[in-house]
Structure 1
Amino acid sequence: MLILQLAIILVASKVAGSLSVRLGQPSVLGKLLIGIILGPSVLGLITEAETLTEFSQIGVILLMFLAGLETDIDEFKRTGKASIFVGLGGIVVPLLIGYITGIAMNFTNFEAWFLGLLLSATSVSISVQALKELNQLNTREGTTILGAAVIDDVVVIVALAFLMSFAGGDVNLTAVILKKAAFFAGAILVGWKIVPWFLRKFSNLKVTEVVISSALIVCFVFAYLAEYTGVAAIIGAYIAGVAISVTNFKEEITEKIETISYSIFVPVFFTSIGVSAQFSGIMDNFGLVAVLSIIAILTKLLGASVGAKLSGYKWKNSLGIGSAMVSRGEVALIIAAIGLESKLLSQDLFAVIVVVILVTTIVTPPMMKVFFNTADKKKKSRNVA
């Protein structure tokens, strides 16, 4: 059954992606939508099997690993201030508006703050693919977005631990912060000193494709340690990619990892997002889904865009950056699952939040296309003039 499902996903995602491009949209949009059609909500051809979930997890890890490989370190340093402004702006506005919304819905203080944190999360795995298709990943804007996503992830997870400790959860806030600090310090040190040495030594082994295997080892170890210390695995994979990007192996690794990733794992990841959508009974809460979706989209767009503007970007570029931060993705799903388990979210509200997360993910690629294309046209018109 798994083999047949993989075949269906690969055929459908490639065809849907191509159709999306023909319609003037990023291919990732078609891949997301075809997942909904193939999933239990519509045709029921693909079900959420544990193995498919693991394939999907590998897909998003490899996607962020590739983003790290294509990151320009010098540009990353130059955009540090902008990343901080965008990351914090994209947290503060959704957090406050989410809290006010929760209070208006008669939530307790803790529940309202939890909703705000949930809306503050960002997952740029979808945005990374859209940036690649729009040729924006290696630009100043693309680097700012990736840096802001790292900041967003760390701040939101630490804030979540802080909230859970006050809400009666079994959370040692000091230990949480120290674990995350230890991971980032260790990852930077290992990436700087050990990763290049490891690649050189491992590449001397007399077996086939040893360079690619060594790169995957680094990627998966960093991703595992990130997840183990409470940082998202995708952040660990991204840092691993950045570490390898400054070595002489970058070109070979990037080319072959792209082949591995886009042939099977990444299509499964994109399609599985749509497959995981559950719409049964959601019409009873359609109004709430609509309201929360609008709030989720506008607050992140506004907060991140204002942050970009304050750091020196023009409005068109700022809106492009803000749109890339809208997708909540797997990071928000993890937080929502924590809320359900700790009874900060009811089962009905959890179902609503899952659909809202899906909506933010689907609207992100076309929004990015609109804002980035508009910014590019203005830039070209100035050059012509």
Structure 2
Amino acid sequence: MDLKEFLLSLIIIYISARLLGELAARLGQSAVLGELLAGVALGGSVLNLVQATDTLKLLGEVGIILLLFEIGLESDLQSFLKVGWSAATVAILGVVTPFLLGYALALALHMTQFQAVFIGVALTPTSVAIPVRVLHDLGRLATTEGNIILGAAVLDDILALVGLSVIVGMAESGIVSWFEVGRTAGLAILFLTLAILLGIRYAHLFSGLVNKMNTRGALVIAAMIFALLLSYSADAVGLAPLVGALAAGLVLAKTEHH
């Protein structure tokens, strides 16, 4: 895809998403519903006007990272922590239920034990971006229910990572290494804990650095760097980058510049 095709694709995507998003909003629905329909219509399933190239996919990933960063900035960490047990319950049920259903169905279809576990694990991940965007559009993100859904989505990502480590262990040695499972879960939880606690502890350094900058847009650039850094770090430990972006937003929400 050359630059001309890329720019044309962006123009078509933005216009279609905005028009259908506006239509959905006028009908009392979340704008994301119209935007999803625009994507379906433009893709290979219907009109085939836009090709899902690697460039557009990466651009979409960056967009999701920025969305979760914005959500973090608008969220309150204390309210987020207050619903911890409720979010954990929702996350566990949201992982265990599809896993058991997928596992049972695979066994009923006479698949092997490994294949059944693989099918079950494949059904456990939850998309964070869509429900978060819907709650944001409806103005329900800052509610107790919104915090529970957001917290459950983050915990679900950790549980899915644990499930992946189980699959890898079974594929390599035929058995589950509980040490590896514990290490994977512990690393993910440690990352989130340190990212938020250390971020809040040293957030004043961020504010001090930004206050010393005289260049235009310094605050935006510094915030972007911080969000991308935590997103990269999350990806490095096996978590979804958007988890790091959310953590970055929660941290910077505690600063004077939020």
Matching residue within 20, 25, 48 for 1:16: 20
8 Å CA contact 1:199, 1:214 repeated in 2 = no
Structure-to-structure mapping, 1:118-197, within 5 angstroms: 118-168=122-172, 173=180, 176-197=184-205
How far off its partner does 1:3 sit?
0.7
The CA RMSD over aligned residues, in Å, is 1.9
> Is 2:9 aligned against 1:2?
no
State the percentage of identical aligned residues. 35
Which deviates more from structure 2 when the two are superposed, residues 203-212 or residues 228-237?
203-212
> Is 2:30 aligned against 1:30?
no
Which deviates more from structure 2 when the two are superposed, residues 221-230 or residues 121-130?
121-130
Other-structure match for 1:383: none
How far off its partner does 1:114 sit?
1.6
**How many angstroms apart in 2 are the aligned matches of 1:147 and 1:238?**
10
Other-structure match for 2:222: 214
2:138 partner letter: L
Q: Give the TM-score normalised by structure 1.
A: 0.62
8 Å CA contact 2:72, 2:249 repeated in 1 = yes
How far off its partner does 1:7 sit?
0.7
Q: Report Cα offsets for 1:306-364 as digits up to 9, x if no partner.
A: xxxxxxxxxxxxxxxxxxxxxxxxxxxxxxxxxxxxxxxxxxxxxxxxxxxxxxxxxxx
2:161 partner letter: I
Return the structure number with greater relative CO, CA threshold 8 A, min gap 6. Answer: 1
Which deviates more from structure 2 when the two are superposed, residues 137-146 or residues 165-174?
165-174
Other-structure match for 2:105: 101
8 Å CA contact 1:224, 1:233 repeated in 2 = yes
> Is 2:254 aligned against 1:246?
yes
3-state DSSP of counterpart to 1:148: helix
Q: Give the TM-score normalised by structure 2.
A: 0.91
3-state DSSP of counterpart to 1:135: coil
How far off its partner does 1:69 sit?
0.9
Q: List gaps (5 residues or longer) in structure 1.
A: 251-385
How far off its partner does 1:24 sit?
3.0
**How many angstroms apart in 2 are the aligned matches of 1:169 and 1:194?**
43
> Is 2:73 aligned against 1:69?
yes
How far off its partner does 1:88 sit?
0.8
8 Å CA contact 1:99, 1:115 repeated in 2 = yes
Matching residue within 218, 225, 243 for 2:233: 225
**How many angstroms apart in 2 are the aligned matches of 1:116 and 1:26?**
31
3-state DSSP of counterpart to 1:48: coil
8 Å CA contact 1:226, 1:233 repeated in 2 = yes
Structure-to-structure mapping, 1:335-346, within 5 angstroms: none
8 Å CA contact 1:20, 1:30 repeated in 2 = yes
How far off its partner does 1:140 sit?
0.5
**How many angstroms apart in 2 are the aligned matches of 1:181 and 1:36?**
36
**How many angstroms apart in 2 are the aligned matches of 1:128 and 1:95?**
23
Matching residue within 196, 204, 208 for 2:212: 204
Q: Report Cα offsets for 1:2-59 as digits up to 9, x if no partner.
A: 0111111111100011112233321111111111111122212111122211211110
For these two proteins, the number of residue pairs brought into alignment is 250
**How many angstroms apart in 1 are the aligned matches of 2:98 and 2:204?**
40
Deviating beyond 6 angstroms after TM superposition, the runs of 4 or more aligned structure 1 residues are 169-172
8 Å CA contact 1:153, 1:231 repeated in 2 = yes
8 Å CA contact 1:26, 1:130 repeated in 2 = yes
**How many angstroms apart in 2 are the aligned matches of 1:154 and 1:11?**
36
Change (3 A) 1:169 1:185: farther
3-state DSSP of counterpart to 1:136: coil
**How many angstroms apart in 2 are the aligned matches of 1:74 and 1:175?**
28
1:188 partner letter: I
**How many angstroms apart in 1 are the aligned matches of 2:246 and 2:117?**
29
Other-structure match for 1:330: none
2:230 partner letter: F
How far off its partner does 1:160 sit?
1.6
**How many angstroms apart in 2 are the aligned matches of 1:191 and 1:219?**
11
Change (3 A) 1:85 1:179: closer
3-state DSSP of counterpart to 1:100: helix
Other-structure match for 1:312: none
How far off its partner does 1:177 sit?
4.0
**How many angstroms apart in 2 are the aligned matches of 1:197 and 1:228?**
24
2:242 partner letter: I
Matching residue within 35, 59, 62 for 2:63: 59
Q: Report Cα offsets for 1:259-305 as digits up to 9, x if no partner.
A: xxxxxxxxxxxxxxxxxxxxxxxxxxxxxxxxxxxxxxxxxxxxxxx
